Amino acid sequence: MMTSFHTLQLDKLNIFYREAGDPEKPTMLLLHGFPSASHMFRDLMPLLENDFHLIAPDYPGFGQSSMPNHEDFTYTFEHLSEIMTDFIEALDLNPFYMYVFDYGAPIGFQIAAAHPEWIRGIVSQNGNVYREGLGQKWATRQDFWNKPTPEKRASYRQAFAPETIKSQYLTGTPANSVGPDGYTLDIAYTQNPNYADNQLDLIFDYQNNINRYPIFQKYLRENQPKLLAIWGKNDPSFIFPGAKAFAKDDPHVVIKSVDSGHFALESHASEIAKNILETFG
């Protein structure tokens, strides 16, 4: 088998996605995080393609998908969730398992809460929906959200500076376990002239994801999907108590950790794949 690469047109947007596995097998939708795109799943997909039909899209503003200017396109998580809903319906993917990471969690859980019948199970890898999972940096963001100024907004350009992106990949990982491929490509994508303001809009909108946590938790309580919460336990952004918190609302959660950081797939794709197959196989 092999991974293939496609582009789907939705209205005026081109949505790039990767596909692997047999379409007759259960579908798993892979939802990436910031500042990455579907290439973050490049090591995982070959490990799961014998058991799942895998679809990994790039959101608008990310990767190889359209990157309209923020003056012409609303960069909010609600809007990205609506577009991913259209993507799911256009490809007739439901029902499906979903793998959510970082930004993929609020996008995926908005879709799940609106369409619980679509969800066969969930893998949350550092995909937070609990306040317990918010690391120390979020206190500074709360100040930005409460009292936004142009100066504070401009300061968040540092979030996609090359050294910041590289640090996101390397912090908390075993020495020499993470290659340069992922973060080098992410850094390249930041060079798009629309990138910075688009992403700054999403950083400001992230507050609404936290406000939606009760909705996501209500979805878990009412539907109790089979859920694997597997965390890079050394992630300073979404800390391991966020994985443990799923047990408050979903008795079907399996909680695991790997000795890695935020981008745990970079160093532990095999271990994460093994846990997915043990949980959902």
Enumerate the active-site residues: 262
Measure the CA–CA gap between 111 and 119, rounded to whole angstroms: 9
Q: Residues 214-225, buried b or exposed e (16+ Cβ, 10 A)?
A: eebbebbeebeb
- Yes or no: say if 63 and 88 are a contact pair by the CB < 8 Å rule: no
In the chain the first and final C-alpha atoms are separated, in Å, by 19
Q: Which two tokens stand for residue 150?
A: 């142009």
Spatial contact of 233 and 260, defined as CB atoms under 8 Å apart:
yes
CA distance 95 to 97: 7
Which tokens is 23 given? 């379409």
Q: Say how far apart CA 275 and CA 121 lie, in whole Å.
A: 13
Q: Is the peptide bond before 60 cis (omega within 30 degrees of 0)?
A: no
Q: Is 250 helix (H, G, I), strand (E, B) or coil?
A: coil
Per the listing, tokens 């798993």 go with: 28
Query: Cβ distance 114 to 85 under 8 Å?
Result: yes
Q: Are 121 and 97 in contact (CB under 8 A)?
A: yes
Instruction: Measure the CA angle with vertex 271, ends 267 and 277; round to 5°.
Output: 140
